[in-house]
Amino acid sequence: MDFKDEMLTKQKVVNDYLMKCMEIKCSPQIILDSMKYSLFAGGKRIRPILAISICEALNGEVKDVLPFAASLEMIHTYSLIHDDLPAMDNDKYRRGKLTNHMVYGESIAILAGDGLLNYAFENIFDFLTINPCKKNISAAGVIAKAAGVSGMIGGQVIDIQSKDKKIDEKTLHDMHRLKTGEMIKASCLTGAIIAEANNSMDIVEEYGSNLGIAFQIVDDILDYTGDEKDLGKTIGKDKKSDKPTFISMYGVEKSRELAALYTEKAAKNAKIIDKKGFLLELTDYLLKRKN
Amino acid sequence: MDFKDEMLTKQKVVNDYLMKCMEIKCSPQIILDSMKYSLFAGGKRIRPILAISICEALNGEVKDVLPFAASLEMIHTYSLIHDDLPAMDNDKYRRGKLTNHMVYGESIAILAGDGLLNYAFENIFDFLTINPCKKNISAAGVIAKAAGVSGMIGGQVIDIQSKDKKIDEKTLHDMHRLKTGEMIKASCLTGAIIAEANNSMDIVEEYGSNLGIAFQIVDDILDYTGDEKDLGKTIGKDKKSDKPTFISMYGVEKSRELAALYTEKAAKNAKIIDKKGFLLELTDYLLKRKN
Q: Closest chain B residue to A177 measured between Cα atoms?
A: B27
* Average pLDDT of the segment spanning A82-106: 96
Chain A CB contacts of B167 below 8 Å: none
Give how many domains chain B has, as a whole number.
Answer: 1
Gap from B165 CA to chain A (nearest CA, Å):
15
Q: What is the pLDDT of residues B218-235, one digit of tens each?
A: 999 998 887 666 666 666
Which of B25, B117, B119 comes nearest A118 by C-beta?
Answer: B117
Q: Find the mean pLDDT for residues A129-137.
A: 96
User: Closest partner residue to A27 among B78, B82, B154, by Cβ?
Assistant: B154
Q: Is B157 on the interface with A (CB under 8 A)?
A: yes
Residue A289: per-residue pLDDT: 86
Q: What is the pTM of this model?
A: 0.96
Q: Does residue A33 sit at the B interface (CB-CB below 8 Å)?
A: no
User: Pick from B117, B144, B158: which is nearest to A125 by CB?
Assistant: B144
Residues of A whose CB is below 8 A from B178: 27
CB contact under 8 A, A125 and B141: yes
Residue B158 pLDDT greater than 90, yes or no:
yes
% of chain B surpassing 70 pLDDT: 94
Asked if B108 has any chain A CB less than 8 Å from its own CB, the reply is yes
Least confident of A135-149, A221-235, B37-51, B198-212: A221-235
Is the distance from CB of B82 to CB of B23 less than 8 angstroms?
no
Q: Which of B23-27, B115-119, B245-249 has the lowest mean pLDDT?
A: B23-27
Residue range(s) defining the domain that contains residue B246 = 3-288
- Chain A positions touching B117 (Cβ under 8 A) are 114, 117-118
The DSSP-derived string for chain B is --HHHHHHHHHHHHHHHHHHHT----S-HHHHHHHHHHHTS----HHHHHHHHHHHHTT--HHHHHHHHHHHHHHHHHHHHHHHSTTTT--SEETTEE-HHHHH-HHHHHHHHHHHHHHHHHHHHHHHHH---HHHHHHHHHHHHHHSTTTHHHHHHHHHHHTTS---HHHHHHHHIIIIIHHHHHHHHHHHHHTT-GGGHHHHHHHHHHHHHHHHHHHHHHHHHS-HHHHTS-SSHHHHTT---HHHHHHHHHHHHHHHHHHHHHHHHHHHH-TTSHHHHHHHHHHH---
CATH (domain of A71): 1.10.600.10
Tell me, yes or no, if B28 comes closer than 8 A to chain A by beta carbon. Answer: yes
Cβ contacts (< 8 Å) between B119 and chain A: which residues?
148-149
